[in-house]
Structure 1
Amino acid sequence: MTTSDIVQKLWNLCDVLRDDGINYSDYVTELVLLLFIKMEFENTESGILQAHKLPDYARWPEFTRRSGLNLLTHYKTSLLQLSQSPDPLIAAIYADAQTSLKEPRHLEQLIKSLDSIDWFSAKQDGLGDLYEGLLEKNANETKSGAGQYFTPRPLIDSIIHLIKPQAGETIQDPAAGTAGFLIAADSYIRSQTDDLYNLSEKQRQFQRNRAYLGMELVSSTRRLALMNCLLHGMEGDDEGVVHIGNTLGSSGSSLPKSDIMLSNPPFGTAKGGGGPTRDDLTYATSNKQLAFLQHIVRHMKDGGRAAVVLPDNVLFESGVGADIRRDLMNKCRLHTILRLPTGIFYAQGVKTNVLFFQKVSQAATGSTQEVWVYDMRANAPKFGKRTPLTRTHFAEFEATFGEDANGKSERHDQGEAGRFRRFSREWIAKEKGDSLDIAWLKDENAEDAADLPEPAVLAREAVDELTAAVEELEAILAELGEAESI
């Protein structure tokens, strides 16, 4: 069985859970609580994990030898005990964990189904990859929650290939989600170091416990991230690789500086007082991506590098948006922008980009002299279930980007008919007013009404733009001493 076959088989177990009144939104959480116990056992028995992380009572054989009400009771008790574990990582993984299963026969069926899987085949690809495949399946087939902006694995792999993380570097994702970027970085480093065997024991310990750090606001998503990391051999500190907290609040201020920043911050504008509360950011904004961008620049070490997925509005928003872009280009070498195709995220109308930049210093000015833009969006295939995004779609971009992780390889402007072009910092300031929304190719697909975003997407974009405009006007009124809000 291939990994995708096993993922599909695991996904089909949802039919069992539906009989117990569990819907899709709760499915992955319910399944992974049990699946993690199985995978922890398999990983330890095969030597991937150095020692069992789970106590005796919560190991897989303790569930396979029981049946009926005795099994269900033991499972519920085990989840409660795990949530109170003296091991802070296990306690974090099982915090507030409880099963919604009511029928012992359904739990028995799940356990038998998990036992019937060809785990030898799964181990060949890595149990962590299998688990991640299940998370991606959930993201692709559910219509809300974490799946809305799940970063496609081919995009993550392409970014990692270009950024080239090295053993000994610290890597941070301040909007970690299920830790896809951090795990891909670890996989890349393992591929370059014979699964860390080329490193000293001290270096291996650093990679397992100190190299990676993420922060996630949603506790259920963090649970998935911690499980995902542990199954990939990434343990982190006492709180795990991914800490719980709000990067745009006080928790984010205390995050350390890192060599590499990799992130796909959540889209949208904060509502109802849920905006950034950081007082160490240079520019106040309710736009979450603009706030995350400031965090990333501030928390990168001098000489560090970053790749960040951001929606179009970050590239063209006026007012404070322009101020933040100028600040970015002063403190960093913004060397490459990749205009991504639409349709690679769940919300079909969302237009996104990847910004690649290198930190010069927090006090630097004029660090960006030129920006190279690769347009992968114009005349691109319509991606979706019928035309899935694959790594091969990034081959041309990777070739033009070059081998240097800081974008310093020799490059060639392909002209108005090509996808890769160079724009001077002076031109961006004079001709674009510091907007980085730069396009030159005529998109033949854009004229097809069927390819236009859904009305709800267009409405959301309009609301976000109007909200930003109102905030700017309120700021002007405040400066003029007017207390009233618009």
Structure 2
Amino acid sequence: MPTEEPAELPEAESRETAAHTRSLVDKLWSYCDVLRDAGVPAIDYVEQLTYLLFLKMMDEQEKKLARRGKPNRVLPVGIDWDTLASKKGADLKGYYEHVLEDLGKRPGMFRLIFLGAQNKVQATGLLERLIKELIGKTQWSKEGVDVKGDAYEELLSRSASDVKSGAGQYFTPRPLIRAMVDCVQPTPEDTIVDPACGTGGFLLLANEYLRREYPMESLNPDLRNRVIHGHAFHGVELVRGTARLAAMNMLTHGVVPSENQEVIEVGDALLNEPKVRATLVLANPPFGQKSAITVLGEDGKVVKDEAVYTSRDFWVTTKNKQLNFVQHIAKLMKIDGRAAVVLPDNVLFEGGAGETIRRRLLKEYDVHTLLRLPTGIFYAGGVKANVLFFERKRPSDKPWTSKLWVYDFRAGESFTLKQRPLRREHLQDFVDCYLPGKPREERVGTERFKSFTYEELIARDKVNLDITWLKDDGAGDSVQHSPEEIARSIAADLKTALAQIEAIADALASRNQMENT
């Protein structure tokens, strides 16, 4: 059970730790502008730091074991930090590239971090400064998990704002994730899965919650190892470069995989059968209408595209990526498993396949809470999104959903990434209304929080869950939006309209097909 009061650092110590973290981040980030001028984007810079931090931390681990009289090789023979740091110019560049290639051929964590790794810092002088002055002068093993983990996470946050690299598409706002995690309350017994994990934010903050609410020293060895060695977490990421960032993010936050333990899996979650079944899914699947796959669902229809993907587990055939992720998440959950998933508006109202999926979810799962999100909180702009909370139940003749509670955090609210960024306290009223850990029968409606019965939901046209009742008085318009943010808002409206038009077109096509059959 969680402790009554989570252990916290004394205020002065907490401020000191935060200041130290900022100092470390500023030091690491100070090289970014220099490298950007040399043609290295921010996300590539963080990737290069990942390689070097991993090497330095593993080298320090070896030396720490040796000092304790327990010498043990962590890095392969012939690869060590001192050799790397002793070289100069072309010799340094050549040895560094040899290290990247060699480690990419090794199994386990080495393969995940280094497979396909490339040296993006071609200027030997810059590479030498990066190794010797930036990484080499810091004893990373002496930095607490909080410091080096928060520093790495902050680097990812800063790189997400680099629009040209597209890094923001892999970065879900951390205040939103924290609120979602606070609602679902992970436990050490949970198997927490993110099938589109990006840089690992959901797994990272679930880990943070577990370490705060369940101090590791209070757990029995099995549960402690589940958290520390990563057996409690599993992420899937399509892009290898992003997967390595997620793996390093978890490592710097104290999740050290045991041998052959795959915390982050590289692959297409929609293409492969899940390796792990979840008791808790936390996810923000990629936005975008279509996947380059061939889909075969229970309805027997085939939708062709570039690659081949067959899943007879899905309820319905569709090329809509978000709808396929909803079906995938629903299927990978264990009985009594729970999920909190970020979804764009079109998943709530789209007809055809969307309607079929919503009907199945409401009947076979307990779909109990929907959080309508405001605009301006995602780095990947142009999206109106929501968080859907639901639980998997055993087969039953009766619908499992009794009430869907909708919290409208969109009406009258507006955020920007710079002038008014989303903070965790902005979501506190929603978390209070959610009543984490308490029976949902105790929930009380408010102006923003309202319940709808299963019968009311099913009676809605196309089982449309895009429910509004508050008048948006434009209170959020007082926020000063940049031209870029205004353009993204317009794009969001256009995308929503396009999705509605496509849904109508699909419905008409299905009707014509039936009439001609």
So what's the TM-score if we normalise by structure 1? Answer: 0.88
Distance 1:359 1:236, change over 3 A: farther
Q: Distance in 2 between matches of 1:66 and 1:26?
A: 23
The aligned counterpart of 1:392 is 425
**Within-5 A mapping of 1:135-150:** 135-148=156-169, 150=171
Q: Distance in 2 between matches of 1:16 and 1:481?
A: 64
Asked if 2 retains the 8 angstrom alpha-carbon contact of 1:53 and 1:90, the reply is no
Asked if 2 retains the 8 angstrom alpha-carbon contact of 1:175 and 1:215, the reply is yes
Q: Distance in 2 between matches of 1:447 and 1:341?
A: 10
The aligned counterpart of 2:9 is none
Cα-to-partner distance string for 1:25-67 (whole Å, 9 max, x where unaligned): 53332332223323444677789xx987433544433333333
Of 376, 379, 382 in structure 1, the residue corresponding to residue 415 of structure 2 is 382
Asked if 2 retains the 8 angstrom alpha-carbon contact of 1:446 and 1:452, the reply is no
Cα-to-partner distance string for 1:244-268 (whole Å, 9 max, x where unaligned): 221112x1x2433211111100111
**Within-5 A mapping of 1:82-161:** 82-85=103-106, 87-111=107-131, 112-116=133-137, 123=144, 125-148=146-169, 150-161=171-182
Q: Distance in 1 between matches of 2:53 and 2:188?
A: 30
**Within-5 A mapping of 1:21-420:** 21-24=39-42, 26-41=44-59, 53-55=74-76, 57-85=78-106, 87-111=107-131, 112-116=133-137, 123=144, 125-148=146-169, 150-194=171-215, 196-207=216-227, 208-234=229-255, 235=257, 238=260, 240-249=262-271, 251=272, 253-271=273-291, 273=305, 277-362=310-395, 365-404=398-437, 408=440, 410-414=442-446, 418-420=447-449
Q: Distance in 2 between matches of 1:359 and 1:378?
A: 30
Cα-to-partner distance string for 1:62-91 (whole Å, 9 max, x where unaligned): 333333332222211111111112x32211
| Stretch of structure 1 that moved more, 264-273 or 54-63 | 54-63
Distance 1:271 1:91, change over 3 A: closer
User: Does residue 45 of structure 2 align to residue 13 of structure 1?
Assistant: no
Amino acid at match of 2:336: G
Amino acid at match of 1:384: L
Unaligned runs of 5+ in 1: none
Q: Distance in 2 between matches of 1:191 and 1:335?
A: 27
Distance 1:134 1:376, change over 3 A: same
The aligned counterpart of 2:21 is 3
Cα-to-partner distance string for 1:75-133 (whole Å, 9 max, x where unaligned): 11111111112x32211210011203223211111121234568599536242222122
Amino acid at match of 2:260: D
Asked if 2 retains the 8 angstrom alpha-carbon contact of 1:370 and 1:424, the reply is yes
Distance 1:225 1:274, change over 3 A: farther
User: Does residue 453 of structure 2 align to residue 424 of structure 1?
Assistant: yes
Q: Distance in 1 between matches of 2:502 and 2:512?
A: 15
Amino acid at match of 2:449: F
Cα-to-partner distance string for 1:117-173 (whole Å, 9 max, x where unaligned): 685995362422221221111112334534135211111111111111111221111
Asked if 1 retains the 8 angstrom alpha-carbon contact of 2:281 and 2:329, the reply is yes
What is the DSSP-based 3-state SS (H/G/I as helix, E as strand, rest coil) of the residue aligned with 2:218? coil
Q: Distance in 1 between matches of 2:313 and 2:450?
A: 35
Distance 1:364 1:75, change over 3 A: farther
Amino acid at match of 1:93: I
Q: CA deviation at 1:335?
A: 1.1
Unaligned runs of 5+ in 2: 1-18, 293-304
Distance 1:110 1:455, change over 3 A: same
Q: Distance in 1 between matches of 2:289 and 2:335?
A: 29
Distance 1:188 1:25, change over 3 A: closer
Distance 1:452 1:245, change over 3 A: closer
Name the Cα RMSD after superposition.
2.9
Asked if 1 retains the 8 angstrom alpha-carbon contact of 2:108 and 2:261, the reply is yes
Distance 1:443 1:244, change over 3 A: same
Amino acid at match of 1:426: E
Q: Distance in 1 between matches of 2:403 and 2:170?
A: 30
What is the DSSP-based 3-state SS (H/G/I as helix, E as strand, rest coil) of the residue aligned with 1:345? coil
Of 402, 416, 438 in structure 1, the residue corresponding to residue 467 of structure 2 is 438
Instruction: Give the % identical residues.
Output: 39
Q: Distance in 2 between matches of 1:243 and 1:300?
A: 17
Q: Distance in 2 between matches of 1:130 and 1:439?
A: 40
So what's the TM-score if we normalise by structure 2? Answer: 0.83
Q: Distance in 1 between matches of 2:412 and 2:178?
A: 23
Q: Distance in 2 between matches of 1:365 and 1:341?
A: 34
Asked if 1 retains the 8 angstrom alpha-carbon contact of 2:61 and 2:74, the reply is no
Distance 1:240 1:340, change over 3 A: same
Question: How many equivalent residue pairs?
Answer: 472
Q: Distance in 2 between matches of 1:268 and 1:36?
A: 33
Asked if 2 retains the 8 angstrom alpha-carbon contact of 1:326 and 1:434, the reply is yes
Asked if 2 retains the 8 angstrom alpha-carbon contact of 1:83 and 1:94, the reply is yes
Q: Distance in 1 between matches of 2:162 and 2:390?
A: 33
Asked if 2 retains the 8 angstrom alpha-carbon contact of 1:172 and 1:262, the reply is yes
Q: CA deviation at 1:467?
A: 3.7
